């Protein structure tokens, strides 16, 4: 499967993910919007720098709505096959949130290896290769939008917008110019500059449209 094969792509670019991350804030019992975000390789536990920049940008755009965060629990180490553990944790969180807070609009997000985590959840309807908690069909409508940054699947020609017939139209799969993790570019610095690239703002605008209006929006490809 392309989503899982793409995890191996990260091995060639491990040195690119060296930025530090603040810890995600505790989620209230039920919020209007919950952002479940998987950090990049070697970032400390939390939603990561890119995830935090995304949430900070999103909050003022969804005025009147409460926004909580959930940091996906997984090693985020150089052992990329362990991303499956993150996919299991992300899926279980989404299922629990949908059951406990049915009116909450869920946003799946991830950066770099975290994007590969999201890929597995969004494209794997059955368990396998360490992924043990596929999303039930009944939970899918609770996910308002998906945002991924520096997605390694895009480097092998399989962005999430193309891989997932279920979530493709709800997904912003964003790749900075010349980012070697998600494109054939060679600018390693671009991979750690998503907060400054303008793509975080674009992702927040994408989520705002989906979270505040039920109508489908055009697929975003970068």
Pairwise CA distance, residues 153 & 194, whole Å = 17
Task: Report how far apart, in Å, the C-alpha atoms of 80 and of each of 148, 171, 206, 211 are.
Answer: 17, 23, 28, 31
Question: For residue 6, what pLDDT is reported?
Answer: 53
Task: Report how far apart, in Å, the C-alpha atoms of 190 and of each of 177, 186, 194, 195 are.
Answer: 7, 9, 7, 10
CA quadruple 78, 82, 87, 89: dihedral sign: negative
Q: How many CB atoms lie within 10 A of CB 78?
A: 14
How much of the chain, in percent, has pLDDT values that exceed 90?
79
Question: For residue 214, what pLDDT is reported?
Answer: 55
Catalytic: which of 119, 179, 183, 197? 179
Q: Answer yes or no: 210 catalytic.
A: no
Residues facing residue 105 across a β-bridge: 33
Question: For residue 80, what pLDDT is reported?
Answer: 85
Question: For residue 17, what pLDDT is reported?
Answer: 45
Model confidence over 26-78: pLDDT tens digits?
444 899 999 999 999 999 999 999 999 999 999 999 999 999 999 999 999 98
Catalytic: which of 91, 112, 124, 190? 112
Question: For residue 149, what pLDDT is reported?
Answer: 98
Q: Answer yes or no: 179 catalytic.
A: yes
Catalytic: which of 124, 191, 197, 210? 191
Question: For residue 205, what pLDDT is reported?
Answer: 98
Which residues 6+ apart lie within 8 Å of 121 measured at CB? Answer: 87, 90, 91, 94, 108, 135
Strand duo 67-71 + 171-174: pairing = unpaired
Closest CA to 38 of 12, 74, 14, 5: 74
Altogether, the residues listed in the chain come to a count of: 222
Q: What is the pTM of this model?
A: 0.84
DSSP state of 153: H
Q: How confident is the model at residue 15 (pLDDT cuts 50, 70, 90)?
A: very low
Q: Answer yes or no: 103 catalytic.
A: no
All structural domains of the chain: 2-12+30-213 (3.40.50.1820)
Q: Which has more pLDDT, 2 or 162?
A: 162
Which residues 6+ apart lie within 8 Å of 64 measured at CB? Answer: none
Q: What is the token pair recorded at 74? A: 């997984």
Q: State yes or no: pLDDT of 151 exceeds 80.
A: yes
């Amino acid at each position: 499967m392309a989503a899982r094969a793409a995890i191996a792509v990260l091995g060639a670019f491990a040195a690119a993910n060296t930025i530090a991350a603040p810890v995600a804030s505790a989620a209230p019992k039920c919020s209007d919007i919950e952002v479940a975000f998987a950090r990049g390789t070697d970032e400390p536990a939390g939603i990561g720098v890119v995830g935090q920049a995304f949430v900070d940008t999103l909050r003022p755009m969804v005025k009147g709505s409460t926004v909580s965060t959930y940091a996906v629990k997984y090693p985020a180490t150089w052992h990329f096959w362990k991303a499956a553990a993150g996919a299991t944790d992300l899926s279980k969180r989404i299922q629990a949130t949908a059951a406990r807070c049915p009116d909450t609009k869920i946003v799946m997000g991830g950066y770099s290896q975290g994007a590969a985590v999201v890929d597995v959840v969004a494209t794997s309807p059955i368990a396998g290769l360490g992924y043990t908690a596929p999303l039930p069909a009944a939970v899918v409508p609770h996910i308002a939008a998906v945002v991924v940054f520096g997605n390694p699947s895009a480097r092998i020609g399989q962005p999430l917008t193309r891989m997932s017939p279920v979530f493709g139209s709800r997904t912003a799969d964003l790749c900075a110019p010349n980012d070697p993790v998600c494109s054939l570019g060679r600018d390693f610095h671009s991979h750690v500059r998503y907060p400054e690239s303008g793509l975080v703002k674009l992702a927040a605008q994408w989520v705002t449209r989906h979270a505040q209006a039920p109508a489908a929006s055009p697929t975003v490809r970068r």
